Structure 1
Amino acid sequence: MDGTQGMSEVTGSEALATLHRVFGYDAFRGEQEAIIEHVVGGGDAVVLMPTGGGKSLCYQIPAMVRAGTGIVVSPLIALMQDQVDALRAVGVRAGFMNSTQDFEERRLVEAEFLAGELDLLYLAPERLRLDSTLGLLSRGKISVFAIDEAHCVAQWGHDFRPDYLTLSVLGQNWPDVPRIALTATATHATHQEITQRLGMPDAKHFVASFDRPNIQYRIVGKADPKKQLLGFLKQEHEGDAGIVYCLSRKSVEATAEFLSRNGIEAVPYHAGLDAGTRARHQSRFLREEGLVVCATIAFGMGIDKPDVRFVAHLDLPKSVEGYYQETGRAGRDGLPSTAWMAYGLQDVVQQRKLINMGEGDEAFRRRASAHLDSMLALCETARCRRSQLLTYFGQEGAEACGNCDTCLSPPETWDGTVAAQKILSTVVRLERERRQKFGAGQIIDILLGKRSAKVIQFDHDQLSVFGIGEELAEAEWRGVVRQLLAQGLIAVEGEYGTLVLTEESGTVLGRQREVRLRKEPKPAPRAAAARERKAKSPAVELPAEVAPVFEALRAWRGAQAKENGVPAYVIFQNATLSEIALQQPTSLAQLGAIGGVGEKKLATWGEGVLGVLAGLRGEAAPSGVAGSSGAGRDDDPWPDYVGQEPPPEDEPVPEDVDW
């Protein structure tokens, strides 16, 4: 055995022991072990792993195994306290530094770092621009640099943060400290940009599968989107926590108010709210069960709430990367979840208009159009949506999943060549005969033979194409226009979203190309788990006789979370509670063998759990167990500030679109 092999075995066994002792798991998942061994051994790594795949362990364990403190670059300081609370709950010595702390608090954290008393220290990228921060780090012992949400370095990405461009200084100033850059979403181009801009040419790349099999992807035609959303939530996700994304602040406010008025507790979140309100709403979402947040894209990055059961979009995302990142916030615990979107013609027109009227240069518009084209292709596909997503991220050859809307209710296709020719001919007649350009609504009215006020005003009832499209209904014509836009056979132009021909239009008008279109699919049947789910019950498959045990444990967990001012999942996740309910341990040793119960949680909460189980069996709780919460002891994992509202962020929040 050579020295390298021996070191690998030692660090590998130490990493596995740390996983079991701290986090309560007996084995790594997927690429975790290989990544951890590589970083522990001193190598740089770029990690692409889907949300919920266990990225955090890939830097947390190396930070605990290697000598020194792991420095974690995290983009949202409003979440640092929650991240640190969760780590302290399992016995990890973690801290953070940001502008929400006063001088004494920062000085204490600095002293802990310099004394080697921290396993992990969280910093925002903005703080690494300060000479004082770089000077502090140079005086301490650093085990690893972790750059979380590394896609923020991509200038053409959906979450670009300029401060990430300066992070190459880490490799320059600390060439012997391993760096690990992590993200949940990146195309090949974004992957390369991360590597280049962070200055990590020798990093080993680990790309896990992008598949999230527990998420059901569904896209429906937009009719009355708020009512469609309400029906979806009432039928399938009543009482569940979830996120609803809208593009405009006005839509966010209106949707949250509509849901609240109809019996679903919802709060808004967007960049136009004051920082205190945003912080309160985010804190409620993390700590309460069953709350819905209606938000712009300013919300969600970095949030580690495992029991988000759905993510809904009422407007078309700008890119597949953005869509995947946002939908990936559902089902981090691996339990059944839904990614639902309402999508219509106006979404396409509006997105095209925003690109054309935007301030970016021609290169920016080309890239934005390419992103939108890929998003439209996902919406209009007749194949499995999951396999289309995986193909976009370079994961070829994925089989149909059997759990998305196009698998559950395969769409029919039809020869839409004549319909396409009628649309294009109407555009030609308006432009060449009248020197006019109009949007989709006017063109559809002409085809349907509607003598609307605008049709009469412009004498469009005198056109030869007036009334030649009565074989299709208005909704069907809107679908034709939408799909022609998606296929690049027609385009949107100018401030008013008028339709114009493209270079490809002539191939259709000249009968050189067949146009295949998809019929609007019938509503997909709801999954069995969704049909059976009752209000406020989690998506956990348990035998009927065990369900009351789970609910009792969940009620106990909720009381402890409220008492300690932390999210319920910080105490135990649903998957761990369900395993406890199934096994019903009668001793601390048996409880400690369950996945997700590490040494610290066992010491803090073990007796309380056993007391609940004993009470359900009609037995007296073991001595010292009754009412035990684990709080208030000498090893209390919750510092005094836990339970206070998170302070406002000290970096700018990305602006959303105002219509």
Structure 2
Amino acid sequence: MSLGIREAREALKLYFGYEQFRPMQEHIITNILQQKDVVVLMPTGGGKSVCYQVPAVVMPGLCVVVSPLIALMKDQVEALLANGIPAAYLNSSQTADEQYQIEEKSLAGQIKLLYVSPEKLLSAGFFSFLKRLQVSLFAVDEAHCISAWGHDFRPEYTQLRALKQQFPAVPVVALTATADKLTQKDIQEQLQLRQPEVFVASFDRPNINLMVLPGQNRFNKITDFLSRRHGQPGIIYCLSRKATESLAGKLRENGYNATFYHAGMSAQQRSKAQESFLRDDVLIVCATIAFGMGIDKSNVRWVIHYNLPKNVEGYYQEIGRAGRDGAKSDALLFYSFADVMNLRTMLSDNDKSQNELQLVKLERMQQFAEATFCRRRILLQYFGEQMSRDCGNCDICRNPPSRFDGTLIAQKALSAIARSQERLNMSLLVDVLRGSRNSQVMAGGYDRIKTYGAGRDIGTLDWNRYLHQMLNAGLVELAYDQNYTLKLTEQSRQVLFDGRKIELVKFEDAKQQTENLQREKPKREIIKDALFERLRALRKRLADEQNVPPYVVFTDSTLQEMAAEKPANRIAMLAISGVGAQKFERYGHSFINEIIAFLTEEQAKGSAIKGATHLVTWEAYQQGLSPEEIARRRNLNPVTIYSHLATLLEQGYDVPVHDFVSKREYEAIIEAIEQLGKDAKLKDLYEHLEERYEYFKIRLSLAMHKMQYAW
């Protein structure tokens, strides 16, 4: 086993509550422990933080984490402290005295991870301060910000090459969720990394359900979506600041707890909106893309894109803010061609040197939105990853479109384009085909062409879908410099004049294709969901008392596992993923008590919950009732209650056997067990002891002997 990896595994369980590393994490950590530079490309929620936090705990000295956003530092430090790991941050939000105290703690060796902004790192005298410390590792988070080729370039990041210049022997790990090959290469060069090991994790986030819906009637579709996700936090990304405010206002008018966030707000307003969302005081944030990079909130259950994103990298990073804990989550994208035109206009006004690249990226985003086969395969292919089969967790997989001979439909559209002298944009073409008499159609005289009204039998939405497919198939081209008018191609002439056949895809109308909600849940699922809600409410109360975000207490996936497994003692609770020793000491008993109280209430209602009946007995016993009194109240045989106590004893509960079995009786029963063997049946022991001892005394003695408890 590699040097330090055993300690790393122990730290993972002790501080983070996980039994084993996720794929690739152990290899990354091994390289860091061997003092190698590393580049980590891992999707949001894939476990990047663990890749440097675990080595930081294991290695002597202090790890310096360079992070671009103050809120992100705050989140991660709070989470580390909750796990029992000494961490702190230094940035402009603190007073000089607060910063001085943290520097003193760092010098005293009381801090294992120190988060700093790039501005703080590069400020006068800070490198001199770091040289007084034993720096074990530099971690550069959101490393794509260092590259002009990345989608979120930060000029101050380019000065981070000073790390290797000032500390040539200290390993550097650069981490990002989204970087193409050009950006990856630039990261290595900018940071002057020395023969770094590059780890590219799978981009697949199978827990995220991918959906795309037409952009028409978006608000009603959003409220329908939200009505099925009561109490679940989520983000709605909008293209403009005005849209975030307007949408949040409409949601509030409809009874939803929503706020907005954009760069035009004051720092105090943005901070208040973000803090409310982090703490689940507000469940919905309508935001521009300025929001989200700086949060580490693991219980975001859904992300909606109100408008088409500019590129796949941005889209992927933004949907990755849902389901960071690995639990089921949703990503819904609204798509309209108007969004494409707006984005092209915006990009055309940007830096000309980057313009062509950005327009190509937009086209790839458009192709994803217009896909007619598995969306996840398209997404993974964009990042150079092949998927051999369809995912089964996107709208296309769940609602596969049917293909049909669309030659006549294509000919109608192409004929209208030709007869209008190629002066129609997509919207106007649909109006002409459907026989609209609006001002544009009449002013252009398009009501007099032969194909006017030839497509009345096809709805506007379907016409748009067919035209997008024709565009993707190369049957028409868009003249971006001529108000997005449609032009014929050589292929379109083949369809019009040479008998070429065309297949089109027909989508079923959205019969709630976003989810299958008609199925009634079985009773155990309803109980599990109810317990999850109880645990979530408890988490919120505890988080508010300690002034931390709820997900810092436990993630949704940890609560879901608790709701499924119903751990009711220390051993069972520590077996839940995400429950480490520190968190158990702080929160474990509260959650155990809540689970037992819930099960007791359900039993009282007559619900049969497998494996829970002995916990109800324990709850009653804790209230001071005798086994006989419990038996009467629960209408059970007292022998059954004693059997429950024996099971509880075997599960680690502190059952006072001495109250029911004397030392003399216990010794006699143990002697019989040793003579007949530990696997002897109760009946055999009872008869061997000449029926002098009741069954329950033998059962309790067996449990005590099995657990090797001393009298």
Instruction: Give TM-score, length-normalised by structure 1.
Output: 0.84
Match of 1:217 among 193, 200, 210: 210
Q: Secondary structure at the match of 1:164?
A: helix
Aligned to 1:118: 111
Identity, % of aligned positions: 41
Q: Given the superposition, is the C-alpha separation of residues 585 and 379 from structure 1 closer, same or farther in structure 2, using an over 3 Å criterion?
A: closer
Q: 1:580 to 1:225 in 2, by over 3 A?
A: closer
Q: CA deviation at 1:352?
A: 2.5
Give 1:493's match in structure 2, choosing from 477, 480, 493: 480
Q: Does residue 1:509 correspond to 2:501, yes or no?
A: no
Aligned pair 1:558/2:558, yes or no? no
- 1:23-63 CA-to-partner distances (Å, cap 9, x unmatched) read 12221111111111111111111112222221111000111
CA RMSD in angstroms comes to 2.8
- Asked if 2 retains the 8 angstrom alpha-carbon contact of 1:32 and 1:58, the reply is yes
Answer whether contact 1:79 1:302 (CA < 8 A) is retained.
yes
Aligned counterpart in structure 1 of residue 350 of structure 2, from 334, 359, 363: 359
The residue that corresponds to 1:597 in the other structure is 579
C-alpha separation in 2, matches of 1:350 and 1:486: 19
1:58 counterpart = 2:58:
no
| CA shift in 2, pair 1:461/1:526, >3 Å | closer
Which residue number in structure 1 is paired with residue 440 of structure 2? 454
Is the alpha carbon distance of 1:414 and 1:262 closer, same or farther for their aligned partners in structure 2, counting shifts above 3 Å?
same
Q: Identify the range of structure 1 (58-67 vs 170-179) with the bigger mean alpha-carbon deviation.
A: 170-179
Matches within 5 A, 1:108-257: 108-200=101-193, 202-234=195-227, 236-257=228-249
TM superposition shift of 1:546:
5.0
Give the match for residue 371 of structure 2: 381
Summarize the alignment of residues 473-488 of structure 1 with structure 2, pairs less than 5 Å apart.
Answer: 473-487=459-473
CA distance in 2, matches of 1:318, 1:349: 11
Give, as a single letter, the amino acid of the residue that structure 2 aligns with 1:159. D
Residue 351 of structure 2 aligns with an amino acid whose one-letter code is: G
How far does residue 177 in structure 1 lie from its aligned partner after superposition? 0.9
The CA distance in 2 between the partners of 1:529 and 1:178, in whole Å, is: 51
The 2-side partners of 1:185 and 1:88 are apart by 28
Would the aligned equivalents of 2:390 and 2:397 in 1 still touch at CA under 8 Å? yes
Give the alignment of 1:568-583 within 5 angstroms: 568-583=550-565
- Contact in 2 for aligned 1:217/1:385 (Cα 8 Å): yes
Query: Is the 1:240–1:290 Cα contact (8 Å) retained in structure 2?
Result: no
Cα deviation for residue 516 of structure 1 reads 4.5
Give the letter for the 2:493 counterpart. L
Pair 1:325-2:307 in alignment: no
Residue among 385, 398, 408 paired with 1:408: 398
Instruction: Give deviations 1:526-562, integer Å, cap 9, x for gaps.
Output: 545896689xxxxxx9655555544443332221111
Per-residue CA deviations over 1:331-383 (Å, capped at 9, x if unaligned) read: 11211111111212212222223233x1321x422111211111111112211
Give deviations 1:309-329, integer Å, cap 9, x for gaps.
Answer: 111111111111111111111
- Indicate how the Cα distance of structure 1 residues 550 and 379 shifts in structure 2: closer, same or farther if over 3 A, else same: closer
Report the equivalent of 1:350.
342
Indicate which of 258, 272, 292 corresponds to 1:266. Answer: 258
Match of 2:271 among 267, 279, 298: 279
1:439 paired residue among 418, 421, 425: 425
Q: Measure the CA separation in 1 of the matches of 2:367 and 2:396.
A: 13
- Paired with 2:448 and 2:515, the residues of 1 have a C-alpha distance of 51
User: Contact 2:327 / 2:556 at 8 angstroms: preserved in 1?
Assistant: no
Matched with 2:389 is 399
Task: Name the CA distance, whole Å, in 1 between partners of 2:529 and 2:455.
Answer: 57
Gap change, CA 1:316 and 1:562, over 3 Å in 2: same
1:11 Cα deviation (Å)? 0.5
Measured in 2, the distance between the counterparts of 1:477 and 1:613 equals 54
Indicate how the Cα distance of structure 1 residues 174 and 426 shifts in structure 2: closer, same or farther if over 3 A, else same: farther
The aligned residue for residue 642 of structure 1 is: none
Change over 3 Å in CA distance of 1:529–1:577 after alignment to 2: farther
Q: Distance in 2 between matches of 1:222 and 1:614?
A: 47
Q: Distance in 1 between matches of 2:232 and 2:588?
A: 27
Deviation at 1:414, TM superposition (A): 4.1
Q: Give secondary structure in 2 for the equivalent of 1:9.
A: coil
Aligned to 1:537: none
Tell me how far 1:14 sits from its aligned partner: 0.9
Residue 440 of structure 1: CA displacement? Answer: 2.6
Alpha-carbon contact 1:445-1:455 (below 8 Å) kept = yes
Offset from partner CA, 1:121-157 (integer Å, 9 cap, x none): 1111232332322232232221111111122223233
How far off is 1:452 after superposition?
2.3
Higher fraction of helix: 2
Choose 82-91 or 477-486, whichever is displaced more. Answer: 477-486
Give the TM-score, by structure 2 length.
0.78
Q: Is the 8 A contact 1:112 1:118 kept in 2?
A: yes
Distance change >3 Å, CA 194–CA 619, structure 1 → 2: farther
Query: What amino acid maps onto 2:391 in structure 1?
Result: C
Give the aligned partner of residue 8 of structure 2.
Answer: 15
- Residues 153 and 165, structure 1, Cα contact 8 Å, conserved in 2: yes
Q: CA deviation at 1:280?
A: 0.9
Deviation at 1:430, TM superposition (A): 4.8
| Counterpart position of 1:312 | 304
1:336 paired with 2:339, answer no
Q: Which amino acid aligns with 2:364?
A: S
Change (3 A) 1:529 1:412: closer
Count of residue pairs brought into register by the alignment = 600
SS in 2 for 1:177: coil
| Alignment correspondent of 2:634 | none
Gap change, CA 1:125 and 1:622, over 3 Å in 2: farther
2: CA distance between counterparts of 1:115 and 1:338? Answer: 46
Measure the CA separation in 2 of the matches of 1:352 and 1:25.
46
Whole-Å separation in 1 of the counterparts to 2:527 and 2:449 = 71
Give the drift of 1:10.
3.6
**Residues 419 and 607 of structure 1: is their aligned pair in 2 closer, same or farther, counting only changes over 3 Å?**
closer
Alpha-carbon separation, structure 2, partners of 1:596 and 1:375: 36
Aligned pair in 2 of structure 1 residues 550, 218: CA closer, same or farther (>3 Å)? closer
Secondary structure of the structure 1 residue equivalent to 2:462: helix
Judged with a 3 Å threshold, the aligned counterparts in structure 2 of structure 1 residues 543 and 136 are, in CA distance, closer, same or farther, namely same
Change beyond 3 A, Cα 1:407–1:610: closer
Q: Whole-Å Cα distance in 2 between the matches of residues 622 and 114 of structure 1?
A: 51
Q: 1:545 to 1:253 in 2, by over 3 A?
A: closer
Q: Quick one: distance in 2 between partners of 1:583 and 1:498? A: 57
- SS of residue in 1 equivalent to 2:588: helix
Seen in structure 2, the aligned counterparts of structure 1 residues 40 and 382 have a Cα distance that, compared at 3 Å, is same
User: Is the 1:187–1:392 Cα contact (8 Å) retained in structure 2?
Assistant: no
Secondary structure (helix, strand or coil) at the match of 1:131 reads coil
CA distance in 1, matches of 2:292, 2:417: 42
C-alpha offsets along residues 176-233 of structure 1, whole Å, 9 cap, x if unaligned? 1111111222333333333333322511111111111111111111211111111121
CA distance in 1, matches of 2:406, 2:158: 47
